[in-house]
Amino acid sequence: MTKIAVIIGSTRPGRRGANVAQWVQDASNSHEAIKAGDATVEIVDIAEFGLPLLDEAMPALFGQYRNEHTHQWSRTIASYDAFVFVTPEYNRSVPASLKNAIDFLYHEWSNKAAGFVSYGTQGGVRAVEHLRTALAEVKVADVATAVGLQIFTDFTFSDPTNPLDPGTVTPGPHHEPALHKMLDELIAWSGALKPLRAEGAAH
């Protein structure tokens, strides 16, 4: 069984990220491995953890956490085998909320696989490229296939000029097959890395 967390990277009131994550979960339900019960997909919302800007004295590599919010975030991330990061593009990168949440932990991410669903005016691809680089440092294996939703074509808004309208995710027909291909890669790589996770847990 592969436990997959769909992590909502943005925390902004009125964010579109929550609807994107919901689309990911709904569209994953028709994936073969998930239908068969070999994998599960759950949404993890960074906003629910109330993480401040990094306030741990020791680098996460040492695993010596002082704060209850860090322990809660640690327990949650440690309980998953793989991640789908749902990220918008903020100023050509990831939202600070997501980078901060990654920085809080280390071993909880390591030897796990990650895929990406991004969104923005150019599909959020520049955020994903930055995210891939950051995740390399915490030993996450990033799969090649990703989904990039375009704000102006893959969402429906009652008022497209209103940044507080989260809109409805109405993705083009090519996105769900891409999501499923990404899940194939994610489940395969997460399985391949399982012995390394077991080795880490034994030390």
Query: Cα-Cα-Cα-Cα dihedral of 104, 101, 177, 41, to 10°?
Result: 80
Give the whole-angstrom CA distance, residue 198 versus residue 53: 31
**Given CA atoms 96, 175, 170, 126 in this order, what sign does their dihedral have?**
positive
Contact assessment for residue 11 and residue 88, using Cβ atoms and an 8 Å cutoff: no
- Give the nearest distance from C-beta 103 to ligand FMN in angstroms: 19
Q: Binding to ligand FMN by residue 190, rule CB under 6 A?
A: no
**Closer Cβ to ligand FMN, 34 or 131, answer by number:** 131
- Residues 73-92 within binding reach of ligand FMN (CB under 6 A): 88-92
**Closer Cβ to ligand FMN, 70 or 97, answer by number:** 97
Name the one residue in this structure whose structure tokens are 């027909």. 173
Give the x/- contact pattern for ligand FMN in 142-181, rule: CB under 6 A.
Answer: ---------x-----------x------------------
**Closer Cβ to ligand FMN, 60 or 102, answer by number:** 102
- Residues 37-56 within binding reach of ligand FMN (CB under 6 A): none
**DSSP, res 61:** G
Q: Please give the C-alpha separations between residue 158 and each of 110, 121, 169, 198, in angstroms, as whole numbers.
A: 41, 17, 12, 49
- Residue 106 token pair: 């280390």
- Residues 99-138 within binding reach of ligand FMN (CB under 6 A): 120-122
**Closer Cβ to ligand FMN, 29 or 121, answer by number:** 121
- Give the nearest distance from C-beta 152 to ligand FMN in angstroms: 10
Contact assessment for residue 94 and residue 118, using Cβ atoms and an 8 Å cutoff: no
**Closer Cβ to ligand FMN, 35 or 92, answer by number:** 92
Give the whole-angstrom CA distance, residue 3 versus residue 12: 27
Among 7, 15, 51, 189, binds ligand FMN (CB under 6 A): 15
Binding residues for ligand FMN, per CB under 6 A?
10, 12, 15-17, 88-92, 120-122, 151, 163
